Structures are given as C-alpha cells and as structure tokens.
Structure 1
Amino acid sequence: MARMHRALPLLAFLFFVCSLAGHAQDQPAAPAIHGFARARLDAQRDLERRFDDQLSKANLTAWLERLAGRPHHAGSPHGKANAEFMAGLLREWGYQVEIAQYDVLFPTPTTRVVELVAPTKFTASLTEPEVAGDAVSKLGAEALPTFNMYSADGDVTGDLVYVNYGVPADYEELERRGIDVTGKIVIARYGGSWRGIKPKVAAEHGAIGCLIYSEPRDDGYGQGDVYPKGGWRSEHSAQRGSVADMPVYPGDPLTPGVAATKEAKRPEFTKAQTLTKIPVLPISYADALPLLKALGGPVAPAAWRGALPITYHLGPGAARVHLKLAFDWKLAPAFDVIATLPGTEFPDQWVVRGNHHDAWVAGASDPTSGMVAVLEEARAIAQLARAGWRPRRTLVFAAWDAEEPGLLGSTEWVEDHAEALSARVVAYINSDSNARGFFSAGGSHSLERFVNEIARDVPDPKVDGSVGHRLLARTILSGSPSARRLARDEQRFEISALGSGSDYTPFLQHLGIASLDIGFGGEGEYGQYHSIYDSVDHYKRFQDPDMAYAAALARVGGRAVLRLSEADLLPFAFERSAERIGSYVKEIEELVETLKTETTEHNRRVADGTFTLASNPAERFVAPAKKDDVPEIELKPLRNAVERLRVAARRFDAAATAAVDGPAAALAQANAIVFTAERALTRNDGLPRRPWFRHQVYAPGYYTGYGVKTLPAVREALEQRAWDEARTQVPLVAQALERYAGEIERAASALER
C-alpha cells in the first residue's frame, strides 16, 4: 500500500523536531515501558539494544535484490522460489517452518483490446516499454500484462463517458447534468476510492464496460519528473490491481469463509459474488489521451480536470470505444511461509508478525521493502535465541502470498486456522510497502499507547530525535485539531482506524484480533505503483536509497514483537480506545443532524427550482427527486454503552499501572482476558449484506474499499438512508460495545484482586 505525505516547510519542521527532541532530553533516560515490572525494565532495554545491534542494512539490500529481482506474482516460478528461499533462511535461523499452500482463483488475460472506433481510429498499446537502466523492465515476457484481476469477460462497444473518480458522488453529479451511463463505457481516473469500487458503481448505473487510467496530475508529471529522470509515473506506465468486491469479503472468491484447500468445494467461477459484473481494464495516460481528447459533451467541472493537454469533456458524444477482454479463469497455488519460535512460559499465546511477498510484477516497493524488514527482524530475534534468550510467548513470522489479488494468502490461512487463532493470538502486526519519510501506524486503539512508546524509543535515521518525535512535529504542523492537541499537550500521536488493503483484515475484521499496520513513507517519489517500473533500480534511486528506513521499520517491528512477547501485563490500554469510539458515536450523531439539514435544503431547492451550477448560475441542473424526511433515530443505547466503556477503561488503566509489579497469577488471569477483549466487538452475523466482516467498529466502506468506515453497520445505513436498518443496528452495535466494556471490567477486577 502507498503512504503519501505532504512535505513540511523545512524551517518550521526543524524547529518542532528540535523542540520535541529537547523535550525528550528533559525526560528520564529510560522511561517506563507499560506492561513491564520495574524489576524487568533494564533486562528488556538490554534485550532491545542487543536486537538493534544485530540489524544489518547489507542483508536488507541483498534480500531486496534477490526477492524483487524478477517478476514474482502468485503462481509464478520466482514467486515459489522466493517462498522456498525465505523458508530456507528461517529454518537455518532456528524456526519451525511450514509452507502452507492454497489453490486460489487467479485468472490472467488471454485477450485485451481497447479501440477508439469513432470519430477517429486508435488502438491502445497496453504495453510498458523497456527503460534504459532498469533491469526489470527488460523482463516483460515474465511479467503479468497490465490488467485488472477479477474483471468480467466481455466484448462491448459503446459511447464513452468520463466519470472522474467513478465514485457514487460523481454519478450523482452526472445525473444532475442529465448524463446517463446506461449502455455506455465509462472512463475513470485512479484515486478517490479503491479501484474495485469504480466498476462496481459503474455497473450499478448500467454501464457495460469500464476503463481506469492513471491521471498525470495525481501521480505523473503533475507531481514531478517522470521515470527514469524522476520517480513519478511515466506516460506508458499502468496500474495493475484487483477489482474484486473486497468490501463484501476478501480472499479466494470461490471459497468465502473456508480455506481454499484442494478438498474445498468450489462453484463455477461465474457464481463468485465478488467478481465484477462488467469488463474493466487499466490503461496508461498515453493510451487514455486519444480517448479523452475525442470526447464531446459538456466541459467537465473544474475539480474533475487533470493535467493532460486537452479540454476535459464529459461525453457522451463523438468518442465511441470497443473493449474486449477474455481470461483463462484458472487456479494458481499460493505459498504462505509460516515460521514459529515457541514460547517458554506462555506457548499458547501467539504474537504474529506479517508482510506479503507476492507482487504484481517485481514489487521492490510493494511489498518487498516491507518484507525484507520483517525478515531482518526474524533473523535478529533468532540470533538472540541462539545466544540463550527464549521468548516468553510464541512468535510467528508470516510471509503471505497472493495478497495483491485480494488478501488471498492471509485470508485463507486465517480461515484455515480460525479456531486456534481466535483462542491464541495476542496481536497481529502488519507491514506492507515502506519508504523514507514519516512513521505511520493504524490499528486497534487499545494499542495506541503501545505504538507511541515504541516510536518514542526508535531514532529517526535522518533527523535528530525519534521517529515518534518527528511524527509529532508533523502532526502539530498539519494534523487535525484533535490530533494537534494530543501531540502538543500530551506528546502522543493518534493512530488511524483501519479499513482494508492489506493482510491485517482477516485478523482484525473477521476474527477480532487486535492489530497494527506500521510503516514509513511520504518522502519518496513513487508514481510506479503496481507497474513494471516498481523495480530495485527505481527503489534505490527514489524511495529509500540506503535502506535506512527499512532498518527503522525493523527496529519498530522488532520492538513490537519483543514487547508483546515479554510483557508481564500485556500492554493494552483502553482509555484511548474508549475516547475514539466515543468520537465515532459523536460523528454518528452529527451525521444524523447533517442529513436532516441537507434533506431540508434539498427539498426546498426541488420545490423552488433553484438547482444551479456554482460555476455557471445560468446553467441548470436536471431537477432531482424530493428526498424522504429523516426520521428520529434513537442513539441513546450507543451513548450509554460508550459511557460504560469510558468508566471501565479508566478503571482498567489505573489498575494496570498499579498492579504491574503484582503477583504473577493475577497478571496471568488479566492477560487471558485482555488479549481476547477485542473479540467482544465482533458479531457472528457480521455486517448487513456482508457477514464475513464481523467487527462492529472497524470495516472497509462498502463504497470506499480501502477507506475505513467506523461503526459501519449504523453509519452506512444512515448514509444509504436505510432508516429501518439503522434503527435495527443501533442496539446491536451498542451490545457489542457493552460486551467490550464488560471484558475490560473483568480484567480490571482480576488486577484489583
């Protein structure tokens, strides 16, 4: 996944970093680590110093070159070789290693045609040419072509319509202008949502085909020099990617909820719920330009216009396109590498650390930059074990296959071992892409204090102070008001809520296992996402040339694993979780009021006919229909549940601080409750229309994909104006929050006794 950050004004940034570093110097040399008895702090600090001493940038570089040296998509020879190579390393280091194989739906194209048939003729090249100085770009014969995984087969011809990002709001804009996409082929630009939403929404509006192009304003020459001069997307580069309807369920489309083993029952591929309903294909901006240039119809709104040297029109009219796609609809093997180091005191409590190893082509950035850091963590921890240390809890390192098509490797493994994982996993720590820049973290907010403490203790490779200090400085300069207050007043940063897009999804949102997603980024030039040019040569020039941030990621990830392994009291803290969930309930309340106001205003404008375009008051919208009034939605059960949660969280956090030096039996009893508390936030019935997603606080949005929807069952019912559903879901979500509060109360009682 890509993490994009804006550059900060240099002088202001340095001022804040220096001030925070100075503040840090005023603190005790070795501040407490929550969850550790005072008598064990020095030993833990020493363990982490010895871990750091083991880390090697030379290993990171060598493994990046080895793993990303050739195309290695799921089912490819180099993909299997990479799995075997990593398994061999992990065995050599002393881990118990298994390669788990799953057979997953992995169709690749046999036919790809995009043609402009009117008013002129043009055939898209659909190729990524070789670039001098880039070794991987010479291996096009080994690479997957540019395509969207899980597109439908199709041979369609129709008028073209430009739909901006192709999200629901864009179609509402088109409808207000009297533009109907029924029977048309739409062209959307990447961005604004996860790519799979674009053909999904297009099909819902009657389109017969979908093209997705890379707009140079977003990741091409509108951002800077293009590859190979700079790092941004060049004119013939196209973004491969899955378009499965992952907000319904991730993983193998043919085996939802069960592992894709050889024995699994599979329906005809046409029956898979998450396949697109229309053909869809990604194209470069070189191939998109003739199509967009030929479009007629109204001029696109200002916000819809890109950086191509044309006037952007909406269509339909003039431009007519032929799109033909066919796929082989085969199964392919996915190879997950699972390495285990058994715990000595609590072997049935597992700490799981993962990253995926498959790529669309060579994937030096996505995912190999993160994978090599996880490997180096595993090696350094193994060196500690060889020197006589053994983990208290069992450590599991995972290299997932087939993440790119839709989180297949991780999801199938989680479904295969759901009962054991639900009973034993303390937390899951994920990474994906990595590059130079700022630390970022998302995940369960019960782990927010935990990750803040780790970031405080890891030095930034390029500036004075820690990676946490640097992130705090950035937050103070450009964060939200609440994030700025937290950073300034409490020296803590917020972690984001997780939607989807990487391998934490089955752990967190299916099983309710507390999870984190960690990495660095924001200062690289990365326009080559999911293209053949995401190569070692590109990465070394434009992403993390000296692998300094790969080493920083290893330091962060290693500390996360070691602290979860060794803690006397597992380092969960629930006050921030209660605060954040309370803020989500407040957002629900504000959403109801906003919907009421918007509905009133909308119906007033329908009645008096005052729908006009802000940019051109003389041009009128097509009159929309009147909206039904927003009824009263009783949200008191949510407010009551949050209040109980706040009280329980304060009680537990206070008890945890007081009891960490207490009897081991009390700590063990509390630990057994604490690490399973997140499970209480799940419901077996899952979310409406998508039961695979069980978590009631975090989920990918039905129409955002990667983007998170918090309290999704209630929020999305309101957004879709499904009032009866909203009324039904409020008490169900409140019950989940009450269960969560009850588990926290039980853990507090164990400590207080």
Structure 2
Amino acid sequence: LTPNVGATADAERLDRSEATTLTTIPVLPLSYADARPLLEALGGPLAPLAWRGGLPITYHIGPGPAVVELELAFNWDLAPAYDVIATLEGSERPDQLVIRGNHHDAWVNGARDPISGLVALMAEARAIGELARSGWRPKRTLVFAAWDAEEPGLLGSTEWAELHADRLRAQAVAYINTDGNSRGFLGMSGSHTLERFINEIARDVIDPQTDVSVSERLAARRQVAGNPRFQTNGDLPIGALGSGSDYTPFLQHLGIASLNLGYSGESGGGSYHSIFDSFDHYIRFGDPTFEYGITLAQTTGRVLLRLTDADVLPFEFESFSETVTRYVDEIVTMTDEMREETERTTRLIDDGRYVLAADPTTTYVPPTAQDPVPYLNFAPLRNALTRLEASARAYGDALSPDAVAKLSVADQRALDQILIRTERVLTREEGLPGRPWFTHQIYAPGFYTGYGVKTIPGVREAIEQRDWPLATTQIALAADTLALFAAEVDRATGILTGSR
C-alpha cells in the first residue's frame, strides 16, 4: 500500500480500494481432497482436454447446478517485518555497495526454503568477519541482508529497496541473492553483464560429489539433456530472472545488476512451501552431508570477495549482446509463427473443418477467427543490436590487465561508475505497459504468468496480446534503450583506451 515508498510506520498508505495490485477475486490454494467435491458438483458442458486434471471424475465447466457459500475472512492488521542488515564499510570505495541477501521467513518450517540458503550467507558473513578482525577490509562496502516477509510478496526486500532507492540507484554495484539450496547442480541466473564473471567463479569451485568443477558438471548435465549450447566465448549461458525471490526490487525496479545462485536437482521434491519442509526431511533428502551448503558459501563468497576487491568491476558486454540478439530472434520467430498459425486457423474456420472434426454428440464451440498478424518493423531493434555488438566487442578488445593497471585511481573510479550505470540505463522511468513499478526493459516477470521471465517484455507481451500499435511503440523504446546502453559501453571503452 506504499508504492515506490518504504513502508515505515508513518508512511502514507493507499486505501485498499486504491491498490490496483490487490486481487478482487478471492484466491486460495486447495488440496485435492477439498477441491474434489467442488469439481464433482459442477454440471454443464464437458471441460476441454487441456482443462482436465488427474482426479478420477468427469470434468465439467459449469455453471452449477450446485451453489457454494463462501465465508471470507481477512486480516488487514499492520504488523512489523524485521530485516537484519549488517554492513562492512569499504576501505577505498565505500560509496560502492555490494549487497548479499537471502530471506529468513518461511511458510512453515522452512528448512530448505529459506534456511539452507540463509546458513550459507551466515557462513560467508562469519568468514568475512574473521578476515575483518585480522585487519583486512574490502575496497567496496559489503552489505549483508536477511529479509523478512518474502513469502507474502517480497515485502522485506521491496520496502527496504524503496526506502533506500536514491542511495541504491547511485551506489549499488550488484545484488547477489540465494534462497533454497540442496544437492545437485549449480543454478545461475541474472544480469548477463555478469555472465562471464559467474562462469569464472563456477570454474573455480569444486563439486563435492564428483571432484570436478561445478561448471564442468553443469555442462555435462546440459549436454546429456540435449542442451549443449555454449556462448561464443565458451561460457555456459545463465538464465534470465523473472520473479519469485528477493532480487526482484533490485533488478527489475532499480536496475541493479543481480545474480541468483543455488544448487539443486538431486534431492527430489514435494516439500516446497509445506509442513514437510523440515530439518528431518532436509537431512534425509535435501543435503544430508551439508556439503552443498558449504559449496554454496564457497561460490557466493568468491563472488563477494571478487566484486568488492576488483580494481575494475568485472562487467562484460559481449555475452549480453549475444543474449539480447537471441531474444530478438525469438520474438521475430514467434511473430512469424503467430502469423502462419493465424492464417491456417482462419482457413480451417472458413472451411468448417473444426465443426466437422468435433464429436457431434458433445457441445462444441469452434474457435473465433482473429485478425491477421501484420509484418512488424523490427529494423530499429536490429540496428540497435548491430551497434551494441560493435560496442561490446570494442570494450572486450580494450579490457586487459595491462589496460586496467595503467588507469589512475580516478579513472578506475570513473570507469566503475559507468559500469554500474549500464544496468540502470536498461530501465525506463515510465516502466512497462500496465505496470510502471517494473522498469527493466530486458527482464520482467510475465504480466499474466508471474514467476516466469519475459525477455524484452514490452515488445514480447504486446505481440502475445496482439496489440500491434503497442508492439510498434515498444520496439522503438527497446531500440532506444539498447542504444543508450551501447553509448555507456562506448564511454567505458573510451576510458580504457584514453580516447574519451
């Protein structure tokens, strides 16, 4: 109820009737035992195949004939959320912040989600605290955060980020997030400007079960699964972030480069967000030897130390350029396939083929013909990608240990500020269509799908919703955003080459 403002005790709040993000239809997860009598009471036409579940009943879509009386009870009382923040001030660049976070609240017991990730954060903090007691200080300021109220909607991290938004926009270098953790393979998603950096980390961390690097083990898994794609430079591609954990306000609202890291894939399932997510379950199935908790701390600990102590921040742009080009290719292909499918469906409707193919003894409504898909002008995006590719390559060519060593301290600081700003320029103040809080133009959770990421969301979702004028507008805005990004990369190259 305090959009863009931290929810302190005295913050001005919207009336609930003014809050556009609160659902107006009651939503409640049900067990199958509770859902079954409701589904069995429905009459009317048979449900389409895609709507049918796995219960041994005949699925209908209603209406009625049964009537269900719902008694709704809500608790709208204000309650405090407790974020725990610890700061180790940097010795040389205290105005540059590296933030490490994991939430501490849980639906029930929370052994895996979130405690398995939180204990890794605590181990990192303890180890770095020992270094500090010995006299060491990071060059940049390190902030550890244990967030409250993640499960009700990322509240602790979001309100903290909104409360400190001005400082974070000016000073935050990166946000590193973890959540649940267990046996298995390294999962790495986030800003693609950090893709090469996290690949370097992954090559240095040893998998406790196989004694090879976690990078090599992950590569083997992808190859066996038939997904052997590598970036041009040989790195493993990282995933893009949607929502579902505390990186959301940092990346998608404030434009702070972010990573979400964790191990998983060999511990089974079934305990998520339930009473079965217990210590007993975790030591039997999750990570019985706690080796992957140690491995996660080794992974994220390396990330923190290298980010805080690097002479120049380890951002890189060729992976980003290659990835965004792939996103645009996906959107163009999606549009072409929509056009072909629309034309095919229209022909079948006009020829009466759907009616002839249906079972005449059941109720059937054929699909409605849709407007043709126009040929959108993707040239602005293609042109922006061409410039971005050239800018990214030039920065990669200019970046070397010798080039960094020749920079004065003032030039290193100036270069850092540009590198920090690169993620910021991927945001737009007006935000995405229909949701101004989400400002990032490359990554966002789906408007209708929630957790899952939509890449270049303004363009992609306008096309999915068949809003062709909006798609044209969003193509131009995305192209402008990439051009601004390329200009920042060019400025960074100018400092490295002395040609600014």
Normalising by the smaller structure, the TM-score range is: over 0.9
Residue 670 of structure 1 aligns with which residue? 415
Tell me the CA shift for residue 317 of structure 1: 5.0
Equivalent residue in structure 2 for 1:432, among 152, 167, 179: 179
1:578 to 293, 302, 321: 321
Name the stretch that deviates more: 587-596 or 453-462: 587-596
Q: Is 2:40–2:58's contact at 8 Å kept on the other side of the alignment?
A: yes
Q: Deviation per CA, 1:333-369, whole angstroms, max 9, x where unpaired?
A: 0111111000001111111000011112221111111
Whether the 8 Å contact between 1:578 and 1:649 is mirrored in structure 2 is yes
CA contact (8 A) 1:472 1:491 kept: no
The match for 1:659 is 403
Asked whether 1:713 is paired with 2:455, we answer no
Could you tell me which runs of 5 or more consecutive residues in structure 1 were left unpaired when the two chains were aligned.
Answer: 1-253
Partner residue, 2:86: 339
In the alignment, residue 514 of structure 1 is paired with which amino acid?
A
What residue is the counterpart of 1:485 in the other structure?
229
Tell me: CA distance 1:612–1:516, structure 2 relative to 1, closer, same or farther (3 Å). farther
The CA distance in 1 between the partners of 2:235 and 2:76, in whole Å, is: 49
Matched to 1:598, the amino acid is: E
Alignment partner of 1:428: what SS? Answer: strand
| Structure 1 residue 497, shift from structure 2 partner | 0.7
Q: Once structures 1 and 2 are overlaid, which stretch shifts more, 390-399 or 614-623?
A: 614-623
Residues 612, 620 of structure 1: 8 Å contact kept:
no
Task: Map residues 195-206 of structure 1 onto 2, 5 A cutoff.
Answer: none
Identity %: 58
For residue 494 of structure 1, what is the amino acid of its counterpart? P
Matched, 1:636 2:379: yes
SS for the counterpart of 1:334 is coil
> What's 1:159 paired with?
none
Alignment of 1:327 with 2:70, yes or no, is: no
Task: State the secondary structure of the residue aligned to 2:251.
Answer: helix
Where 1:367 maps in the other structure, the secondary structure is: helix
Aligned-partner Cα distance in 1 for 2:99–2:472: 38
Given the alignment, which residue of 473, 481, 484 partners 1:728?
Answer: 473
**Change in CA separation of 1:616 and 1:441 when aligned onto 2, cut-off 3 Å:** farther
CA contact (8 A) 1:568 1:667 kept: yes
2:30 is the alignment partner of 1:287? no
Name the counterpart of 2:449: 704
Aligned counterpart in structure 2 of residue 741 of structure 1, from 486, 490, 494? 486
Q: What residue in structure 2 maps to residue 99 of structure 1?
A: none
SS at match of 1:525: coil
> Aligned partner of 2:181: which letter?
N
Alignment-derived partner of residue 198 in structure 1: none
CA distance in 2, matches of 1:256, 1:613: 53
- Paired residues for 1:42-57 under 5 Å: none
Paired amino acid for 2:455 = T
Report the 3-state secondary structure (helix = DSSP H, G, I; strand = E; otherwise coil) of the residue aligned with 1:468: helix
Query: What's the CA shift for 1:491?
Result: 4.5
**Is the CA contact (8 Å cut-off) linking 1:403 and 1:503 kept in structure 2?**
yes
Is contact 2:443–2:454 with CA below 8 Å preserved after alignment? yes
Calculate the TM-score normalised by the size of structure 1. Answer: 0.63
| 2:309 corresponds to | 566
- The equivalent residue for 2:257 is 514
Residue 123 (structure 2) pairs with residue 380 (structure 1): no
CA distance in 1: counterparts of 2:226 and 2:168, whole angstroms: 36
Shift of 1:331: 0.9
| Cα-Cα RMSD | 2.1
Question: Is residue 289 of structure 2 the alignment partner of residue 546 of structure 1?
Answer: yes
Q: In the TM superposition, what is the alpha-carbon distance from 1:322 to its structure 2 partner?
A: 2.9
AA partner of residue 663 (structure 1)? L
Contact 2:2 2:11 in 1 (8 A): yes
Query: Is the Cα–Cα contact under 8 Å of residues 355 and 366 in structure 2 kept in the other structure?
Result: no
**What does residue 27 of structure 1 align with?**
none
* Residue 469 (str. 1) matches residue 212 (str. 2): no
Q: What is the aligned partner in structure 1 of residue 97 from structure 2?
A: 350
Secondary structure at the counterpart of residue 95 of structure 2? strand
Determine if contact 2:116/2:180 at 8 Å carries over to the other structure. Answer: yes
Matched, 1:688 2:398: no
Instruction: Give 1:751 shift.
Output: 0.4
AA matched with 2:91: T
SS for the counterpart of 2:81 is: strand
Amino acid at match of 1:734: A
**Cα 1:356–1:523 shift into 2, 3 Å:** same
Partner Cα distance (1:464, 1:262) in 2: 51
Deviation at 1:388, TM superposition (A): 2.3
Q: Conserved in 1, the CA contact under 8 Å of 2:84 and 2:145?
A: yes
Amino acid at match of 2:387: R
Secondary structure at the residue paired with 1:327? coil
Distance 1:383 1:421 in 2: 27
- Tell me if 1:601 matches 2:348: no
Cα 1:614–1:419 shift into 2, 3 Å: farther
Tell me the SS of whatever aligns to 2:230: helix
* Cα distance between partner residues in 2 of 1:597 and 1:422: 44
Instruction: Provide the residue aligned with 1:37 in structure 2.
Output: none
CA distance, structure 1, for counterparts of residue 201 and residue 94 of structure 2: 24
Count of aligned positions: 496
Any gaps of 5 or more consecutive residues in structure 2? none
618 and 463 in structure 1: CA distance in 2 versus 1, 3 angstrom threshold: farther
> Are 2:353 and 1:610 equivalent residues in the alignment?
yes
Residues 604 and 734 of structure 1: CA distance in aligned 2, closer, same or farther (over 3 Å): same
Aligned positions of 1:244-393 closer than 5 A: 254-297=1-44, 300=47, 304-317=51-64, 320-393=67-140
Deviation of 1:603 (Å):
1.8
Q: Which residue of 1 aligns with 2:275?
A: 532
- How far 1:619 moved relative to its partner? 6.1
- Given that 1:295 and 1:317 are in contact with CA atoms closer than 8 Å, whether structure 2 keeps it comes out as yes
TM-score by length of 2: 0.94
| CA–CA distance in structure 2, aligned partners of residues 299 and 470 of structure 1 | 47
Per-residue deviation, 1:271? 2.5
CA distance in 1, matches of 2:141, 2:257: 16
Match for 2:129: what amino acid? A
User: What's the offset of the Cα at 1:286?
Assistant: 2.4
1:612·1:618 contact (CA, 8 Å) conserved in 2? no
- Please identify which structure carries the higher strand content: 1
TM alignment of 1:6-17, pairs within 5 A:
none
Report the secondary structure of 2:189's partner residue.
Answer: strand
